Amino acid sequence: MLKRLSTDTINTLLIIGVILLVIEIAFFNGGLVFSVLFSSLLIYLGWKKYHVLWRKICFWIGVISLVLTVLSMIAVRFLIIAAIIFFISHYFKSRKEPEHISPEIVDGKEEVPHQEEPILRQKFFGDQSTPDRSYQWQDVNIHGGFGDRVIDLSQTVLPQDEAVISIRHIVGNLIIYVPYEVEVSINHSAVIGRVSIFQYKKSNVLNQVVSYRTQDYVTKKPRVKIITSLLSGDIEVKRI
């Protein structure tokens, strides 16, 4: 069903939604940002040690508060109404013009793309780490919400040219273990957090970009390029 919804239509709806959100925050409901941040903070504090009873209470209070806050937004209501209108119109259109499905025949001589399981998945809540056993390397390109991410490069064989790790995250810590023989280039941005890259330490990062590169990164291999972005959290890169 969503295949008939073009990218331009989706982008138009999202742009209208963002405009409505900005208007609502600027002119009608300035406390909306505080409500979202406060609910997100409760969710984060509760999830960090979810086994503790009061942390569970904080987590679910935050979830309920965030859901109610989001549903009260004019932009969200607009997107919900637009989705309902689209599905109703699609339903009546599909009755007049049924979708014809034909089998896809693949020539045995053609190469079929190989789908590999990623070592890290898109995950909004919870911690995540690379396997604690040997694994085949794949470049990492993920975004997440809340929780820590741990990547251990000592359990894999890096490519001969350059490995890439790209992580965009909201709240949580990033820990990356790098073997001694691997050269490293890091570009890290954060709104709030701390940075620890080998011997380099920065205890107060406020809306800054930190770049670091080992001395022989350009001339020696293997090497890994790390690009990370955090709203709030620490990044730690260690030798192992």
Residue 67 counted as domain residue: yes
Residue 107 counted as domain residue: no
Instruction: Give the pLDDT of residue 21.
Output: 80
Angle at 175 (CA atoms; ends 173, 178), nearest 5 degrees: 165
Residues 155 and 215 grouped into a single domain: yes
Residues 74 and 138 grouped into a single domain: no
Residues 56 and 144 grouped into a single domain: no
At what angle are helices 74-96 and 7-23 packed, to 10 degrees?
Answer: 150
Residues 227 and 158 grouped into a single domain: yes
Residues 132 and 65 grouped into a single domain: no
Rg of the chain on CA atoms, in Å: 23
Instruction: Give the pLDDT of residue 111.
Output: 52
Residue 111 counted as domain residue: no
Residue 209 counted as domain residue: yes
Domain that holds residue 57: 2-96
Instruction: Give the pLDDT of residue 229.
Output: 92
Run of H or E residues at 156:
none
Residues 84 and 175 grouped into a single domain: no
CA 43 → CA 49, 54, 55, distances in Å? 11, 12, 9
Closest CA to 61 of 39, 28, 84: 39
Residues 6+ apart with CB under 8 A from 226: 165, 176, 184, 185, 186, 187, 188, 237
What tens-digit pLDDT sequence spans the chain (240 residues)?
444 555 566 667 777 878 888 887 777 777 777 888 888 888 888 887 777 888 888 888 988 988 888 888 888 888 888 878 877 876 676 556 654 444 444 455 545 555 566 777 777 666 778 887 888 888 888 888 777 889 899 888 888 888 999 999 888 889 999 999 999 999 999 988 889 999 888 888 888 899 999 998 988 888 999 999 988 888 999 998
Residues 68 and 128 grouped into a single domain: no
Please name the residue that has the structure tokens 């790209």.
Answer: 166
pTM for the full predicted model: 0.58
User: Are 225 and 163 contacting, i.e. CB atoms less than 8 angstroms apart?
Assistant: yes
43, 78, 96 — which closes off a domain? 96
Residue 117 counted as domain residue: no
Residue 50 counted as domain residue: yes
Angle at 238 (CA atoms; ends 43, 180), nearest 5 degrees: 150
Please name the residue that has the structure tokens 């280039």.
Answer: 185
Look at the chain and report how many structural domains it folds into. Answer: 2
Residues 56 and 138 grouped into a single domain: no
